[in-house]
Structure 1
Amino acid sequence: MKVLVTGVTGQLGSALLKQLKNTDYEVKVTSRRKPENVNFEWVYCDFLTGEGLEEAVNDVDVVIHAATSPRKDSDIIDVSGFNKFLDTAQHIKHFIYPSIVGIEDIPMKYYRNKYQAEELLKNSSVPHTIVRATQFHSFVENLFLSKPLFKRYLVPGDIKIQSVDVNEFAAHLIQMINVGPQGKTEDCTGPEILTLREMAELKIKVNNESNKVVSLWFPGKLYRALLDGKNTNDLRKVGKVTFEEFLIAKQN
Protein backbone atom coordinates (compact mmCIF):
# COMPACT_ATOMS: atom_id res chain seq x y z
CA MET A 1 0.00 0.00 0.00
CA LYS A 2 1.39 3.40 -1.01
CA VAL A 3 0.66 6.38 1.23
CA LEU A 4 1.01 10.04 0.24
CA VAL A 5 1.57 12.63 2.98
CA THR A 6 1.07 16.27 1.98
CA GLY A 7 2.47 19.27 3.83
CA VAL A 8 5.43 17.34 5.23
CA THR A 9 7.40 20.44 6.30
CA GLY A 10 4.68 21.45 8.76
CA GLN A 11 4.45 20.33 12.36
CA LEU A 12 1.92 17.55 11.78
CA GLY A 13 3.58 16.47 8.52
CA SER A 14 6.96 16.19 10.24
CA ALA A 15 5.46 14.09 13.04
CA LEU A 16 3.85 11.80 10.46
CA LEU A 17 7.14 11.29 8.63
CA LYS A 18 9.00 10.31 11.80
CA GLN A 19 6.44 7.65 12.63
CA LEU A 20 5.96 6.33 9.11
CA LYS A 21 9.67 5.43 9.04
CA ASN A 22 8.81 2.59 11.42
CA THR A 23 6.05 1.10 9.24
CA ASP A 24 6.00 -1.16 6.20
CA TYR A 25 4.07 1.32 4.06
CA GLU A 26 5.53 2.62 0.84
CA VAL A 27 5.54 6.36 1.45
CA LYS A 28 5.53 9.32 -0.89
CA VAL A 29 5.74 12.89 0.41
CA THR A 30 5.04 16.28 -1.05
CA SER A 31 5.52 19.93 -0.14
CA ARG A 32 6.73 23.18 -1.68
CA ARG A 33 10.08 22.83 0.08
CA LYS A 34 11.93 19.53 0.27
CA PRO A 35 12.38 18.49 3.91
CA GLU A 36 15.88 17.80 5.16
CA ASN A 37 17.07 14.20 5.47
CA VAL A 38 13.91 12.77 3.92
CA ASN A 39 14.18 9.05 3.20
CA PHE A 40 11.01 8.81 1.14
CA GLU A 41 10.12 9.65 -2.43
CA TRP A 42 9.49 13.41 -2.58
CA VAL A 43 7.70 15.43 -5.25
CA TYR A 44 7.13 19.15 -5.49
CA CYS A 45 3.53 20.27 -5.07
CA ASP A 46 2.02 23.72 -4.57
CA PHE A 47 -1.64 24.01 -3.57
CA LEU A 48 -1.47 27.75 -4.18
CA THR A 49 -0.76 27.41 -7.91
CA GLY A 50 -1.89 23.82 -8.51
CA GLU A 51 1.54 22.85 -9.80
CA GLY A 52 2.40 19.21 -9.12
CA LEU A 53 -1.00 18.10 -7.81
CA GLU A 54 -1.47 15.32 -10.35
CA GLU A 55 2.09 14.04 -10.00
CA ALA A 56 1.75 14.01 -6.22
CA VAL A 57 -1.41 11.92 -6.15
CA ASN A 58 -0.42 9.62 -9.01
CA ASP A 59 0.15 5.93 -8.12
CA VAL A 60 -0.85 6.21 -4.44
CA ASP A 61 -3.60 4.40 -2.55
CA VAL A 62 -4.01 6.50 0.60
CA VAL A 63 -3.61 10.23 1.26
CA ILE A 64 -3.01 11.87 4.63
CA HIS A 65 -3.60 15.52 3.86
CA ALA A 66 -1.53 17.55 6.33
CA ALA A 67 -1.07 20.53 4.00
CA THR A 68 -2.84 23.64 5.28
CA SER A 69 -2.39 27.39 5.62
CA PRO A 70 -3.68 28.92 8.87
CA ARG A 71 -2.01 32.30 8.38
CA LYS A 72 -2.31 33.29 4.72
CA ASP A 73 -3.77 32.12 1.42
CA SER A 74 -6.15 29.82 3.27
CA ASP A 75 -8.99 30.52 0.79
CA ILE A 76 -6.86 29.00 -1.94
CA ILE A 77 -4.81 26.33 -0.19
CA ASP A 78 -7.56 25.00 2.09
CA VAL A 79 -10.54 25.43 -0.22
CA SER A 80 -10.08 26.01 -3.96
CA GLY A 81 -6.67 24.31 -4.14
CA PHE A 82 -7.99 21.47 -2.02
CA ASN A 83 -10.96 21.10 -4.34
CA LYS A 84 -8.62 20.80 -7.34
CA PHE A 85 -6.65 18.20 -5.43
CA LEU A 86 -9.81 16.17 -4.86
CA ASP A 87 -10.51 16.26 -8.59
CA THR A 88 -7.17 14.54 -9.19
CA ALA A 89 -7.74 12.02 -6.39
CA GLN A 90 -10.73 10.10 -7.71
CA HIS A 91 -8.76 6.86 -7.72
CA ILE A 92 -7.74 7.13 -4.04
CA LYS A 93 -8.96 4.29 -1.82
CA HIS A 94 -8.80 6.29 1.42
CA PHE A 95 -8.38 10.05 1.89
CA ILE A 96 -7.58 10.95 5.51
CA TYR A 97 -8.30 14.59 6.37
CA PRO A 98 -7.05 16.08 9.66
CA SER A 99 -9.37 18.82 10.86
CA ILE A 100 -10.05 20.85 14.02
CA VAL A 101 -12.59 20.47 16.82
CA GLY A 102 -15.32 23.12 16.89
CA ILE A 103 -14.71 24.75 13.51
CA GLU A 104 -18.42 25.17 12.76
CA ASP A 105 -18.90 27.15 16.01
CA ILE A 106 -15.79 29.35 16.12
CA PRO A 107 -15.93 32.53 13.97
CA MET A 108 -12.46 32.50 12.39
CA LYS A 109 -11.77 32.65 8.67
CA TYR A 110 -9.32 29.74 8.77
CA TYR A 111 -11.82 27.57 10.65
CA ARG A 112 -14.56 28.45 8.16
CA ASN A 113 -12.24 27.35 5.37
CA LYS A 114 -11.44 24.06 7.10
CA TYR A 115 -15.15 23.43 7.54
CA GLN A 116 -15.77 24.19 3.88
CA ALA A 117 -13.03 21.71 2.98
CA GLU A 118 -14.74 19.08 5.11
CA GLU A 119 -17.96 19.67 3.19
CA LEU A 120 -16.16 19.39 -0.14
CA LEU A 121 -14.72 16.05 0.91
CA LYS A 122 -18.06 14.79 2.27
CA ASN A 123 -19.79 15.68 -0.98
CA SER A 124 -17.11 14.09 -3.16
CA SER A 125 -16.98 10.49 -4.34
CA VAL A 126 -13.59 9.94 -2.69
CA PRO A 127 -13.68 7.40 0.19
CA HIS A 128 -12.55 9.35 3.22
CA THR A 129 -12.07 9.76 6.93
CA ILE A 130 -12.28 13.15 8.65
CA VAL A 131 -10.50 13.27 12.01
CA ARG A 132 -10.77 16.41 14.09
CA ALA A 133 -8.20 17.24 16.77
CA THR A 134 -7.94 19.89 19.43
CA GLN A 135 -5.05 22.38 19.36
CA PHE A 136 -1.51 21.01 19.70
CA HIS A 137 0.42 21.67 22.93
CA SER A 138 3.17 23.46 21.01
CA PHE A 139 0.66 25.65 19.15
CA VAL A 140 -0.84 26.90 22.41
CA GLU A 141 2.55 27.59 23.93
CA ASN A 142 3.90 29.36 20.85
CA LEU A 143 0.79 31.47 20.32
CA PHE A 144 0.05 32.53 23.89
CA LEU A 145 2.98 31.70 26.16
CA SER A 146 6.15 32.22 24.16
CA LYS A 147 7.08 35.79 25.13
CA PRO A 148 6.16 37.25 28.52
CA LEU A 149 5.97 41.06 28.54
CA PHE A 150 7.61 42.76 31.51
CA LYS A 151 7.75 39.38 33.26
CA ARG A 152 4.02 38.82 32.75
CA TYR A 153 2.04 36.48 30.54
CA LEU A 154 -0.79 38.65 29.21
CA VAL A 155 -3.40 36.11 28.17
CA PRO A 156 -7.16 35.65 27.78
CA GLY A 157 -6.86 33.51 30.87
CA ASP A 158 -10.42 32.22 31.12
CA ILE A 159 -10.63 30.59 27.70
CA LYS A 160 -10.66 26.81 27.70
CA ILE A 161 -8.02 24.67 25.98
CA GLN A 162 -7.84 20.88 25.54
CA SER A 163 -4.48 20.62 23.84
CA VAL A 164 -3.19 17.33 22.44
CA ASP A 165 0.29 16.07 21.64
CA VAL A 166 1.02 16.29 17.90
CA ASN A 167 2.76 12.91 17.93
CA GLU A 168 -0.32 11.25 19.42
CA PHE A 169 -2.47 12.75 16.69
CA ALA A 170 -0.02 11.62 14.02
CA ALA A 171 -0.10 8.08 15.42
CA HIS A 172 -3.91 8.17 15.40
CA LEU A 173 -3.99 9.21 11.74
CA ILE A 174 -1.59 6.42 10.77
CA GLN A 175 -3.81 3.91 12.58
CA MET A 176 -6.69 5.07 10.37
CA ILE A 177 -4.91 3.81 7.22
CA ASN A 178 -5.86 0.20 7.74
CA VAL A 179 -9.17 0.94 9.46
CA GLY A 180 -10.54 2.13 6.14
CA PRO A 181 -12.85 5.04 5.27
CA GLN A 182 -15.02 6.08 8.23
CA GLY A 183 -16.56 9.35 7.10
CA LYS A 184 -16.42 11.83 9.99
CA THR A 185 -15.03 9.94 12.95
CA GLU A 186 -14.51 10.57 16.67
CA ASP A 187 -12.43 13.57 17.76
CA CYS A 188 -8.80 13.12 18.82
CA THR A 189 -8.50 15.29 21.92
CA GLY A 190 -6.15 16.08 24.75
CA PRO A 191 -6.44 14.41 28.16
CA GLU A 192 -7.60 17.47 30.11
CA ILE A 193 -9.37 20.79 29.73
CA LEU A 194 -7.52 23.73 31.28
CA THR A 195 -7.94 27.47 31.22
CA LEU A 196 -5.17 29.40 29.55
CA ARG A 197 -4.33 30.89 32.95
CA GLU A 198 -3.81 27.39 34.34
CA MET A 199 -1.55 26.53 31.40
CA ALA A 200 0.52 29.66 31.95
CA GLU A 201 0.85 28.81 35.64
CA LEU A 202 2.03 25.29 34.72
CA LYS A 203 4.73 26.75 32.48
CA ILE A 204 5.87 29.04 35.30
CA LYS A 205 6.03 26.08 37.69
CA VAL A 206 7.81 23.67 35.33
CA ASN A 207 10.39 26.24 34.21
CA ASN A 208 10.75 27.74 37.69
CA GLU A 209 10.01 31.19 36.30
CA SER A 210 9.37 34.41 38.21
CA ASN A 211 6.78 35.55 35.68
CA LYS A 212 3.21 36.35 36.65
CA VAL A 213 -0.07 35.83 34.79
CA VAL A 214 -2.39 38.67 33.90
CA SER A 215 -5.78 37.70 32.48
CA LEU A 216 -7.26 39.85 29.76
CA TRP A 217 -10.85 40.12 28.59
CA PHE A 218 -11.90 40.62 24.98
CA PRO A 219 -15.25 41.47 23.40
CA GLY A 220 -16.71 39.60 20.47
CA LYS A 221 -18.05 36.26 19.32
CA LEU A 222 -14.63 34.59 18.98
CA TYR A 223 -13.73 35.20 22.62
CA ARG A 224 -17.17 34.03 23.73
CA ALA A 225 -16.88 30.82 21.72
CA LEU A 226 -13.54 30.01 23.36
CA LEU A 227 -14.90 30.89 26.79
CA ASP A 228 -17.71 28.43 26.13
CA GLY A 229 -15.23 25.71 25.20
CA LYS A 230 -16.35 25.31 21.60
CA ASN A 231 -12.77 24.25 20.79
CA THR A 232 -12.96 21.36 23.28
CA ASN A 233 -14.87 18.09 23.65
CA ASP A 234 -15.44 17.20 27.29
CA LEU A 235 -16.93 13.85 26.30
CA ARG A 236 -13.65 12.81 24.65
CA LYS A 237 -10.36 12.81 26.59
CA VAL A 238 -8.29 10.31 24.66
CA GLY A 239 -4.75 11.71 24.64
CA LYS A 240 -2.20 10.61 27.23
CA VAL A 241 0.41 13.36 27.18
CA THR A 242 -0.62 16.32 29.32
CA PHE A 243 0.46 19.91 28.74
CA GLU A 244 2.64 19.72 31.84
CA GLU A 245 4.35 16.55 30.55
CA PHE A 246 4.92 18.29 27.21
CA LEU A 247 6.65 21.17 28.99
CA ILE A 248 8.79 18.81 31.07
CA ALA A 249 9.82 16.87 27.95
CA LYS A 250 10.99 20.10 26.29
CA GLN A 251 13.56 20.54 29.05
CA ASN A 252 15.16 17.13 28.42
Structure 2
Amino acid sequence: MRIVVTGGAGDLGSRVVREATARGHDVVPASRRTGVDLATGDGLEDALLGADTVVHCADDPSRGDTVTVYATRRLADAAAAHDVHLVHISIVGIDQQPMTYYRRKLRAEQGIDAAGGPATVLRATQFHSLTAFFARRLSVGPFTVTIGDMAFQPVDTDFVARRLVDVAAGPRPTGYVRAPDVAGPDVLPIGEVARLVRAHRRASAPRVVRVPPLGRLMRAISESRNVPATGTADLGGLSFADWLATQPERLTGR
Protein backbone atom coordinates (compact mmCIF):
# COMPACT_ATOMS: atom_id res chain seq x y z
CA MET A 1 0.00 0.00 0.00
CA ARG A 2 1.25 3.49 -0.82
CA ILE A 3 0.84 5.79 2.20
CA VAL A 4 1.58 9.51 2.15
CA VAL A 5 2.33 11.07 5.56
CA THR A 6 1.99 14.84 5.90
CA GLY A 7 4.25 16.28 8.55
CA GLY A 8 6.41 13.23 7.98
CA ALA A 9 9.44 14.99 9.49
CA GLY A 10 7.64 15.93 12.72
CA ASP A 11 7.44 14.03 16.00
CA LEU A 12 4.23 12.10 15.33
CA GLY A 13 4.61 12.00 11.56
CA SER A 14 8.11 10.53 11.67
CA ARG A 15 6.84 7.78 13.97
CA VAL A 16 4.02 7.03 11.54
CA VAL A 17 6.59 6.85 8.72
CA ARG A 18 8.76 4.40 10.68
CA GLU A 19 5.82 2.23 11.71
CA ALA A 20 4.30 2.05 8.23
CA THR A 21 7.69 1.36 6.66
CA ALA A 22 8.37 -1.43 9.17
CA ARG A 23 5.08 -3.04 8.11
CA GLY A 24 6.24 -3.11 4.50
CA HIS A 25 4.23 -0.23 3.06
CA ASP A 26 5.49 2.18 0.41
CA VAL A 27 5.69 5.36 2.49
CA VAL A 28 6.03 8.92 1.16
CA PRO A 29 6.87 11.59 3.79
CA ALA A 30 5.31 14.88 2.67
CA SER A 31 6.54 18.15 4.14
CA ARG A 32 8.15 21.37 3.02
CA ARG A 33 11.46 19.49 3.20
CA THR A 34 10.21 17.21 0.43
CA GLY A 35 8.60 19.98 -1.64
CA VAL A 36 5.04 19.74 -0.31
CA ASP A 37 3.60 22.91 1.24
CA LEU A 38 0.04 22.42 2.43
CA ALA A 39 -0.36 26.12 3.17
CA THR A 40 0.02 26.95 -0.54
CA GLY A 41 -0.79 23.59 -2.12
CA ASP A 42 2.62 23.40 -3.81
CA GLY A 43 3.56 19.78 -4.53
CA LEU A 44 0.35 18.35 -3.11
CA GLU A 45 -1.12 16.97 -6.33
CA ASP A 46 2.11 15.17 -7.21
CA ALA A 47 2.42 13.71 -3.72
CA LEU A 48 -1.07 12.17 -3.91
CA LEU A 49 -0.60 10.55 -7.32
CA GLY A 50 -0.84 6.78 -6.91
CA ALA A 51 -1.47 7.01 -3.16
CA ASP A 52 -3.96 4.74 -1.41
CA THR A 53 -4.02 6.65 1.88
CA VAL A 54 -2.74 9.95 3.26
CA VAL A 55 -2.15 10.24 7.02
CA HIS A 56 -2.44 13.90 7.98
CA CYS A 57 -0.08 14.75 10.86
CA ALA A 58 1.00 18.22 9.73
CA ASP A 59 -0.05 21.21 11.81
CA ASP A 60 1.26 24.61 12.89
CA PRO A 61 -0.84 26.23 15.65
CA SER A 62 1.34 29.35 15.52
CA ARG A 63 -0.12 30.23 12.11
CA GLY A 64 -3.74 30.44 13.22
CA ASP A 65 -6.21 29.02 10.69
CA THR A 66 -3.63 28.77 7.87
CA VAL A 67 -2.50 25.18 8.42
CA THR A 68 -4.88 23.78 11.03
CA VAL A 69 -8.05 24.71 9.11
CA TYR A 70 -7.37 25.90 5.56
CA ALA A 71 -4.51 23.55 4.68
CA THR A 72 -6.45 20.62 6.10
CA ARG A 73 -9.45 21.49 3.92
CA ARG A 74 -7.14 21.86 0.90
CA LEU A 75 -5.74 18.39 1.59
CA ALA A 76 -9.22 16.94 2.12
CA ASP A 77 -10.45 18.34 -1.19
CA ALA A 78 -7.39 17.02 -3.03
CA ALA A 79 -7.67 13.59 -1.39
CA ALA A 80 -11.35 13.39 -2.32
CA ALA A 81 -10.57 14.38 -5.93
CA HIS A 82 -7.95 11.61 -6.14
CA ASP A 83 -10.17 9.13 -4.25
CA VAL A 84 -7.48 8.77 -1.57
CA HIS A 85 -8.45 7.71 1.95
CA LEU A 86 -7.60 10.57 4.33
CA VAL A 87 -6.67 9.65 7.92
CA HIS A 88 -6.63 12.70 10.20
CA ILE A 89 -5.31 12.99 13.74
CA SER A 90 -7.41 15.16 16.04
CA ILE A 91 -7.92 15.72 19.78
CA VAL A 92 -10.36 14.20 22.27
CA GLY A 93 -12.96 16.66 23.54
CA ILE A 94 -12.55 19.44 20.97
CA ASP A 95 -16.32 19.76 20.65
CA GLN A 96 -16.54 20.25 24.44
CA GLN A 97 -13.91 22.97 24.80
CA PRO A 98 -14.09 26.72 23.98
CA MET A 99 -10.30 26.93 23.53
CA THR A 100 -9.39 28.69 20.27
CA TYR A 101 -7.08 25.96 19.00
CA TYR A 102 -9.67 23.29 19.75
CA ARG A 103 -12.26 25.30 17.83
CA ARG A 104 -9.87 25.27 14.87
CA LYS A 105 -9.38 21.52 15.11
CA LEU A 106 -13.16 21.06 15.12
CA ARG A 107 -13.48 23.23 12.01
CA ALA A 108 -10.79 21.10 10.38
CA GLU A 109 -12.87 17.98 11.05
CA GLN A 110 -15.94 19.68 9.61
CA GLY A 111 -13.97 20.63 6.51
CA ILE A 112 -12.90 17.02 6.01
CA ASP A 113 -16.51 15.88 6.30
CA ALA A 114 -17.63 18.54 3.80
CA ALA A 115 -15.00 17.45 1.25
CA GLY A 116 -17.02 14.27 0.73
CA GLY A 117 -14.18 11.78 0.25
CA PRO A 118 -13.31 8.65 2.19
CA ALA A 119 -11.91 9.91 5.49
CA THR A 120 -11.28 8.67 9.02
CA VAL A 121 -10.72 10.98 11.99
CA LEU A 122 -8.89 9.56 14.99
CA ARG A 123 -8.93 11.67 18.14
CA ALA A 124 -6.22 11.24 20.78
CA THR A 125 -5.69 12.64 24.26
CA GLN A 126 -2.66 14.79 25.06
CA PHE A 127 0.73 13.18 24.51
CA HIS A 128 2.88 12.42 27.55
CA SER A 129 5.36 15.17 26.70
CA LEU A 130 2.64 17.82 26.47
CA THR A 131 1.07 16.71 29.75
CA ALA A 132 4.45 17.00 31.47
CA PHE A 133 4.84 20.47 29.95
CA PHE A 134 1.47 21.55 31.38
CA ALA A 135 2.50 20.28 34.82
CA ARG A 136 5.73 22.27 34.64
CA ARG A 137 3.92 25.43 33.49
CA LEU A 138 1.39 25.14 36.32
CA SER A 139 4.12 24.75 38.94
CA VAL A 140 5.92 27.58 40.72
CA GLY A 141 8.56 26.52 43.21
CA PRO A 142 7.01 23.90 45.51
CA PHE A 143 3.43 24.70 44.40
CA THR A 144 1.28 23.30 41.59
CA VAL A 145 -1.97 24.97 40.58
CA THR A 146 -5.01 22.92 39.64
CA ILE A 147 -8.14 24.40 38.10
CA GLY A 148 -10.95 22.59 39.87
CA ASP A 149 -10.63 18.86 39.25
CA MET A 150 -8.28 19.22 36.27
CA ALA A 151 -6.99 15.86 35.02
CA PHE A 152 -5.38 14.24 31.99
CA GLN A 153 -5.32 10.79 30.41
CA PRO A 154 -2.00 11.17 28.57
CA VAL A 155 -1.12 8.82 25.74
CA ASP A 156 2.12 7.46 24.33
CA THR A 157 2.96 8.99 20.93
CA ASP A 158 4.14 5.65 19.53
CA PHE A 159 0.80 4.07 20.46
CA VAL A 160 -1.03 6.79 18.53
CA ALA A 161 1.29 6.28 15.54
CA ARG A 162 0.54 2.55 15.54
CA ARG A 163 -3.20 3.19 15.63
CA LEU A 164 -2.94 5.67 12.74
CA VAL A 165 -1.16 3.04 10.65
CA ASP A 166 -3.79 0.46 11.66
CA VAL A 167 -6.49 2.78 10.32
CA ALA A 168 -4.51 3.69 7.19
CA ALA A 169 -3.91 0.05 6.29
CA GLY A 170 -7.36 -1.13 7.38
CA PRO A 171 -10.76 -1.17 5.69
CA ARG A 172 -11.45 1.86 3.55
CA PRO A 173 -14.60 3.80 4.49
CA THR A 174 -17.08 5.00 1.88
CA GLY A 175 -17.28 8.46 3.44
CA TYR A 176 -16.46 10.34 6.63
CA VAL A 177 -16.14 8.21 9.80
CA ARG A 178 -14.72 8.53 13.30
CA ALA A 179 -12.38 5.84 14.63
CA PRO A 180 -12.48 5.04 18.37
CA ASP A 181 -10.66 7.66 20.44
CA VAL A 182 -7.24 6.65 21.75
CA ALA A 183 -5.90 7.38 25.23
CA GLY A 184 -3.36 6.16 27.72
CA PRO A 185 -4.10 3.70 30.52
CA ASP A 186 -4.30 6.16 33.43
CA VAL A 187 -6.37 9.23 34.34
CA LEU A 188 -4.14 11.53 36.38
CA PRO A 189 -5.05 14.72 38.27
CA ILE A 190 -2.59 17.49 37.45
CA GLY A 191 -1.23 17.31 41.01
CA GLU A 192 -0.27 13.68 40.46
CA VAL A 193 1.35 14.52 37.12
CA ALA A 194 3.39 17.22 38.85
CA ARG A 195 4.35 14.81 41.63
CA LEU A 196 5.64 12.27 39.13
CA VAL A 197 7.53 14.93 37.18
CA ARG A 198 9.15 16.29 40.34
CA ALA A 199 10.01 12.79 41.59
CA HIS A 200 11.65 12.14 38.23
CA ARG A 201 14.13 14.92 38.98
CA ARG A 202 14.41 13.84 42.61
CA ALA A 203 12.36 16.72 44.04
CA SER A 204 9.76 16.51 46.77
CA ALA A 205 6.05 16.30 46.05
CA PRO A 206 4.39 19.66 45.32
CA ARG A 207 1.76 21.39 47.38
CA VAL A 208 -1.37 21.53 45.21
CA VAL A 209 -3.29 24.82 45.21
CA ARG A 210 -6.85 24.53 43.95
CA VAL A 211 -8.20 27.46 41.93
CA PRO A 212 -11.98 27.62 41.43
CA PRO A 213 -13.09 27.39 37.79
CA LEU A 214 -14.38 30.74 36.57
CA GLY A 215 -15.65 31.18 33.02
CA ARG A 216 -16.40 28.67 30.24
CA LEU A 217 -12.80 27.71 29.52
CA MET A 218 -11.84 27.12 33.14
CA ARG A 219 -15.03 25.11 33.75
CA ALA A 220 -14.24 22.91 30.75
CA ILE A 221 -10.73 22.32 32.08
CA SER A 222 -12.04 21.64 35.59
CA GLU A 223 -14.55 19.10 34.26
CA SER A 224 -11.78 17.21 32.40
CA ARG A 225 -13.58 17.32 29.08
CA ASN A 226 -10.26 16.38 27.49
CA VAL A 227 -10.65 12.89 29.01
CA PRO A 228 -12.80 10.37 27.09
CA ALA A 229 -15.87 8.92 28.75
CA THR A 230 -15.21 5.66 30.58
CA GLY A 231 -15.31 2.64 28.27
CA THR A 232 -15.40 4.62 25.01
CA ALA A 233 -11.71 4.81 24.11
CA ASP A 234 -9.03 2.45 22.87
CA LEU A 235 -6.51 2.43 25.74
CA GLY A 236 -2.88 1.42 25.46
CA GLY A 237 0.76 2.35 25.20
CA LEU A 238 3.18 3.24 27.97
CA SER A 239 1.77 4.71 31.15
CA PHE A 240 2.90 8.23 32.01
CA ALA A 241 5.20 6.88 34.75
CA ASP A 242 6.77 4.35 32.39
CA TRP A 243 7.26 7.03 29.75
CA LEU A 244 8.93 9.31 32.31
CA ALA A 245 11.38 6.52 33.12
CA THR A 246 12.66 6.68 29.53
CA GLN A 247 13.26 10.46 29.63
CA PRO A 248 16.26 12.52 30.73
CA GLU A 249 16.11 13.84 34.30
CA ARG A 250 15.59 17.42 33.10
CA LEU A 251 12.56 17.61 30.82
CA THR A 252 12.47 20.27 28.11
CA GLY A 253 10.13 21.32 25.30
CA ARG A 254 6.60 20.03 24.77
TM-score, normalising length: structure 2: 0.86
CA contact (8 A) 1:66 1:97 kept: yes
Choose the corresponding residue for 1:224, options 204, 207, 219: 219
Is residue 139–residue 194 contact of structure 2 (8 Å, CA) maintained in 1? no
Match for 1:246: what amino acid? Answer: W
Alpha-carbon distance between aligned partners in 2 of 1:118 and 1:78, rounded to the nearest angstrom? 10
Distance (Å, rounded) in 1 between the aligned partners of 2:242 and 2:143: 20
- Alignment RMSD, CA only? 2.1
**Deviation (angstroms), 1:237:** 5.7
The equivalent position to 1:241 in structure 2, one of 238, 243, 246, is: 238
Deviates more, 1:17-26 or 1:202-211: 202-211
| In 2: Cα distance, 1:118 partner to 1:241 partner | 28
Cα 1:153–1:170 shift into 2, 3 Å: farther
Alignment of 1:90-101 (within 5 A): 90-101=81-92
1:15 aligns with 2:6: no
CA distance in 1, matches of 2:205, 2:92: 31
Task: Give the Cα separation in 1 of the matches to 2:52 and 2:244.
Answer: 37
Q: Which has the higher helix share?
A: 2
- Which structure 2 residues correspond to residues 30-69 of structure 1 after superposition, within 5 A? 30-32=30-32, 34=33, 43-69=34-60
Structure 1: 5+ residue runs without aligned partners? 35-42
Superposition pairs of residues 139-158 of structure 1, within 5 angstroms: 139-145=130-136, 149=140, 151-156=141-146, 158=149
Q: State the partner residue of 2:187.
A: 193
- What is the CA–CA distance in structure 2 between the aligned matches of 1:133 and 1:153, rounded to whole Å? 29
3-state SS of paired residue (2:115): coil
Q: Shift in Å at residue 243 of structure 1?
A: 0.7
Which residue in the other structure is 2:252 paired with? Answer: none
Describe the superposition over 1:34-69 as per-residue Cα deviations: whole angstroms up to 9, x where unpaired. Answer: 3xxxxxxxx322222332222222221100000112
CA 1:49–1:91 in 2, change beyond 3 Å: closer, same or farther?
A: closer
Greater Cα shift, 225-234 or 14-23: 14-23
Q: Which residue of 1 aligns with 2:101?
A: 110
Length, aligned pairs only:
241
Unpaired runs of 5+ residues, structure 2, are: 250-254
Aligned match of 2:204 in 210, 213, 237? 210
Q: Could you tell me the percent identity over the aligned residues?
A: 31
Amino acid at match of 1:16: V
Amino acid at match of 1:51: D
| Among candidates 178, 192, 200, match of residue 184 of structure 1 | 178
SS, match of residue 249 in structure 1: coil
Shift of 1:19: 1.8
Work out whether 1:174 is the aligned partner of 2:168.
no
Per-residue CA deviations over 1:190-216 (Å, capped at 9, x if unaligned) read: 111111111111122333213634435
